[in-house]
Amino acid sequence: MITATQLRKGMTIVLDGQLYKVLEAVHVGTARGQAYIQTKLRNLKDQTLLDYRFNSDDRVEQAYLETVEMEYLYESDNQYVFMNLETYEQISLPEEMIGDNKYYLIPNVVFTMEMYEGKPVGVRPPTTVDLKVIETEPYIKGATQAASYKPATLETGLTINVPPFIEEGDIIRIDTRENKYLERVKK
């Protein structure tokens, strides 16, 4: 158990028997009365959002998650299949549990699966992923550098801004934490 003042973004807690990921935790002091912690939580079971206020002296149960390296294999009927790299056990996850991480699902990429009491509760992609550009505007020589980025659609459906020299068919590396272009990958 921890006090509510120790809550930080990214922690997983147990509240009313449910697992929640802390998305925001703001300490609010008031002129009169007791300070409190205003949080935004995501239910890991059904992905719903909850705004919850803790008194600063409330006790909260922190959940400790086991992490397992899992390789993404394929998608079938809105179920995403992953394989444990140590035991070769396969696990299917629904699209709701994957969330926006679906834009990084390409076969043979290793994800970190968060497990609580032997059940998967979350998926984290690797820090960087290499994806192919399938659609972008052509490069125009002599164009001003003021508009230095243009939109590009990648093989998974993700649209990000890329430098003007990127062309259709290029493989680019993106930062999965910020959906940001990092570099063009040498072929």
In b/e form, how buried is each residue of 8-17, taking b as 16+ CB within 10 angstroms? eeebbbebee
Instruction: With a cut of 90, say whether residue 110 has pLDDT above it.
Output: yes
Nearest-angstrom CA–CA distance, 33 and 74 = 54
Average pLDDT, the chain: 86
Query: pLDDT digits over 15-25, tens only?
Result: 888 888 888 88
* Domain end marker among 46, 62, 78: 62
* C-alpha separations of 127 from 67, 84, 110, 116, 173 in Å: 15, 19, 10, 22, 10
Are 71 and 29 part of one and the same domain? Answer: no
Query: Total structural domains in the chain?
Result: 3
- pTM for this structure? 0.70
Nearest-angstrom CA–CA distance, 162 and 182 = 9
Q: What is the CATH number of the domain that holds 120?
A: 2.40.50.140
Are 109 and 86 part of one and the same domain? Answer: yes
Q: What is the CATH number of the domain that holds 52?
A: 2.30.30.30
pLDDT at position 137 is: 83
Query: pLDDT digits over 49-97, tens only?
Result: 889 998 888 899 988 888 899 999 998 888 899 999 899 999 998 887 7
Question: Range of 148's domain?
Answer: 128-184
